[in-house]
Amino acid sequence: MKDRFTVVAPRAVTIVKGKNALLWDTDGNEYIDCIAGHGVANVGHCNEAVVAAITKQANELITCPYVLENDVRMQLEKKLAAITPSNLTKTFLCNSGAEAVEAALKCARFTTGKTDVIGTVRGFHGRTMGSLSATHKPFYKEGFEPLVPGFSWVPYNNLEKLEAAITEETAAVILEPVQGEGGVRVADDAYLQGVQKLCNENGILLILDEVQAGFCRTGKMFACEHAGVQPDMLCLAKAIAGGVPLGALVCSDAIKPPIAKHGTTFGGNPLAAAAGLAAIQYMEAHNLAVAAEERGALFEKLFTQQTFSQVREFRRKGLMIGIELREKVKPYLDALQTEGVLALPAGPTVMRFLPPLTISKEEIERVVAAVVKVLS
Ligand SMILES: Cc1ncc(COP(=O)(O)O)c(C=O)c1O
């Protein structure tokens, strides 16, 4: 057999089946999944509503190019406009988070005629050349330079540094309301409100990247709702379609669409759009934003009942949880896997938990018990 093109070091487990918050491997071992595809499976693995929608749509129409209208795609666009902040009206559908960010960066330049974008320290926005250029961590970029010029980074949650970084050429500010890959770091409401004000005063576009934090994960449909902030562009993907690849850039009327200049073949295909509609309807019907906050609060209550010398900080927004250690997390993640819990790193010293929002209270109790055991 030829070598596989492996870009991550996979764990020694082959997953073959999933249901709600559980996964099973080839040997029939069961795991509680706190990875959930890096925050994709918010509605649970193999959610019945999503399975039914794709099964039905697969028998109706699977592909339809953007040059033709499509009923399901239009319904999804309408739905996204309805659930995102009220100033966001227009949607560009694509296939991933990086593509949503890429579209936002292109729209920022196209709309303003300016070139530069300010991001934040520890910000992560994807791995295509544009989204990688917006990403802060040098590790992801080494070996791929030269990247797109015009990007700079300021400390997160620091308004003064942002103000000082603005120039005549600043087209946009891009940031995550909760940094995921950067270690589950939560933006203060006052900071986000200040960023919006600064952007408005200086004619700069605000791009919020909710690829990981969106779709009920933080206890609201979108994390920006906590601060009541209205971005000019909102980047979405991951949980949008219950596990089917789909991304979206939702824009305000201030954004000039680059007509016939930007596009994608598969974006908004009827199959993914049907999955998206079903997943969003499920989130609304089952109040997953409320569930995320309840389950997250239970995790916090149970975990913070004890103290551990290795733990530097516990951070949480809804059911987006980071436990920062004073040491490397890898051995603890391996031990958790042995205990039947799959969790993620967020940088070398942060354990990250992004379980499906449909996880039961009893499963949360089992996860916390396993975390306590491996830390003890
Ligand atoms: C905040 C954020 N933006 C963008 C991306 C890139 O998304 P994708 O992997 O779907 O390209 C990610 C992926 O982890 C992310 O967390």
pLDDT digits (tens, 9 = 90+) for 20-65: 999 999 999 999 999 999 999 999 999 999 999 999 999 999 999 9
Q: Average pLDDT, stretch 95-122?
A: 98
Q: How far is ligand 1, taken at its centre, from the CA of residue 10, in Å?
A: 19
Distance CA 369, CA 54 (A): 36
Cα 157 from chain centroid?
A: 19
pLDDT at 119 over 70: yes
Q: Where are the domains of the chain?
A: 15-46+288-375, 48-285
Cβ 341 vs Cβ 31: under 8 Å: yes
pLDDT score recorded for residue 279:
98
The per-residue pLDDT for range 303-343, each reduced to its tens digit, is 999 999 999 999 999 999 999 999 999 999 999 999 999 99
Alpha-carbon distances of 223 from 209, 218, 338, rounded to whole Å: 10, 6, 33
**pLDDT band at 3; cut points 50, 70, 90:** confident
Rounded to the nearest whole angstrom, what is the distance from the C-alpha of residue 212 to the centroid of ligand 1?
Answer: 7
CA of 211 to the centre of ligand 1 (A): 6
CATH class of 15-46+288-375: alpha beta
Between CA 124 and CA 256 the distance in angstroms is: 25
Mean per-residue pLDDT of the chain: 97
Under DSSP, is residue 254 helix (H, G, I), strand (E, B) or coil?
coil
Q: How far is CA 240 from CA 41, 112, 145, 211, 274, in A?
A: 9, 29, 31, 9, 11
Across 10-24, 44-58, 144-158, 204-218, least confident range: 10-24
Query: Mean pLDDT, to the nearest integer, of 5-9?
Result: 73
Q: Is the CB of 31 under 6 A from ligand 1?
A: no
Residue 209 confidence (pLDDT): 99
Asked if 295 and 319 count as a contact pair (C-beta separation under 8 A), the reply is yes
308 CA to centre of ligand 1 in angstroms:
31
Q: Quick check: 1 pLDDT over 60? A: no
Whole-number Å distance between alpha carbons of 236 and 213: 9
C-alpha dist (Å) from residue 220 to 80, 205, 317, 319, 353:
15, 23, 10, 11, 18
Ligand 1 atom nearest 247 alpha carbon = 10
What does each C-alpha distance from 277 to 36, 93, 220, 272, 349 come to in angstroms? 19, 13, 18, 9, 37
What is the C-alpha to C-alpha distance for residues 288 and 294, in angstroms, rounded to an integer?
A: 10
Confidence at residue 180, expressed as pLDDT on a 0 to 100 scale: 98
* Residue 8: per-residue pLDDT: 73
Residue-level pLDDT at 372:
98
Distance 100 CA to ligand 1 centre (A): 9
Q: What is the mean predicted confidence (pLDDT) over 117-145? A: 98
pLDDT at residue 364 above 90?
Answer: yes
Q: Which CATH number fits domain 48-285: 3.90.1150.10, 3.40.47.10, 3.30.465.10, 3.40.640.10?
A: 3.40.640.10
Q: How confident is the model at residue 277 (pLDDT cuts 50, 70, 90)?
A: very high
Angle, alpha carbons 194-198-201 (nearest 5°)? 135
Ligand 1 atom with minimal separation from the 237 CA: 10
Question: Which residue of 7, 35, 125, 224 sits with most ligand 1 atoms within 8 Å of its CB, as the best mutation to test the pocket?
Answer: 125
The single-letter DSSP state of residue 309 is T
Question: Which residue lies with its CA nearest to atom 3 of ligand 1?
Answer: 125
Contact 323, 311 (CB under 8 A): yes
d(CA 181, CA 44): 21
Atom of ligand 1 nearest to the CA of 213: 1
CB 99 within 8 A of CB 106: no
Please say if the pLDDT value at position 236 is more than 80.
Answer: yes
Query: What is the average per-residue pLDDT within 233-256?
Result: 98
